[in-house]
Amino acid sequence: MHYETIFQEIYHELQSIENIGRVADYIPELADVNPDQFGVHLTTVEGDEFSFADAEKRFSIQSIAKVFTFVLAYSRVKSSIWDRTGLEPAGTPFNSLVQLEYDQGTPRNPFINAGAIVICDILASELASPKENILSFIRSLTGVNTINYNPMVALSEKKTGFRNHALVNLMKSFGNIRNDIDMVMDIYFHICSIEMSCRELSKAFLFLANNGVVPYSGERILSASRTKRTNALMQTCGFYDEAGEFSFKVGLPGKSGVGGGIVAVHPEKYTIAVWSPRLNKKGNSYKGMLFLEEFTTKTRLSIF
């Protein structure tokens, strides 16, 4: 299929629609991003790659990193991970405290902030040097050794992370955080600051389209069954409280972040990463979602 032509077509169609989204502005590093950038990259499980526009430009992947840390924890502690976090859609905002109190410190799923913080706690127990090990893991998925944290973003996340500190303290009070809170939050704020391009993201997620094996290295990251489960979790919980809408319109498992990135996976076929910084009211990329909806409609390449 001529994906690049399709990308161009959809991009030009979307140019006529006003972008009513707004860039995340809770930290200066995100508020200052040029909001009109756009990139998309598709990688097939056979290794073919298709790019358009700013596909090589790195941006703040934010919550997309929650998939990497979840996979790393899941591959190590296996099903005991479900003693620490649930696996149901939250239906509340990603940083909500209300539900956590009600559920006695057990987050609804690993992709809301509370769940991702518990995963950081698990990694703090499991890994010798969590921040270095997480980075090496992501680098090994892509083969790109320059992927890194942005220390300024990590610091801004820390300075403004009042709700995240509230979440971790609440979970600690229920006994669901085992390590020192500052150490766990240092990992959490750093993973929010990772910068990658659409091309790198699309390649990094490819094992999820390939039954758990990185196609170009042959390395198995997850069993086929755990891969299926990770994709199922992204399908139901990957888009804040808009996962139903994303399923309905796009029809692929995926994960978004407030930097404006979205990665989606078509098992056995391809991964696609799109980046457009202006967000809709639910915190998902406004044009990114529209783009993917058009893409799976035109190509009929959704899982439904």
Provide the binding-site residues for ligand GLU, judged by CB under 6 A. 62-63, 94-95, 113, 157, 164, 192, 257-258
Nearer to ligand GLU, 63 or 75 (CB): 63
Smallest gap, in angstroms, from Cβ of residue 301 to ligand GLU? 26
What SS3 class is residue 74? helix
Smallest gap, in angstroms, from Cβ of residue 193 to ligand GLU? 8
User: What's the chain's Rg over C-alpha atoms?
Assistant: 18
Smallest gap, in angstroms, from Cβ of residue 258 to ligand GLU? 4
Nearer to ligand GLU, 76 or 165 (CB): 165
Nearer to ligand GLU, 68 or 94 (CB): 94
Count CA atoms within 13 Å of residue 230 on its CB side.
32
Element (H, E) at 43: strand 39-44
Smallest gap, in angstroms, from Cβ of residue 257 to ligand GLU? 4
**Tokens encoding 298:** 């035109």
Whose tokens are 């199922």? That residue is 232
Nearer to ligand GLU, 119 or 214 (CB): 119
Nearer to ligand GLU, 50 or 149 (CB): 149
Nearer to ligand GLU, 157 or 294 (CB): 157
Whose tokens are 């003693």? That residue is 83
Q: Distance between CA atoms of 108 and 39, rounded to whole angstroms?
A: 32
Cβ neighbors of 48 (< 8 A, separation 6 or more) are: none
Nearer to ligand GLU, 198 or 258 (CB): 258
Whose tokens are 């888009």? That residue is 239
Smallest gap, in angstroms, from Cβ of residue 229 to ligand GLU? 22
Smallest gap, in angstroms, from Cβ of residue 57 to ligand GLU? 18
Q: Nearest 5°: CA angle at 225, between 254 and 219?
A: 80
Nearest alpha-carbon partner for 74 in 91, 87, 59: 87
How many beta carbons lie within 10 A of that of residue 211, not counting itself? 16
Smallest gap, in angstroms, from Cβ of residue 194 to ligand GLU? 11
Contact 149, 193 (CB under 8 A): yes
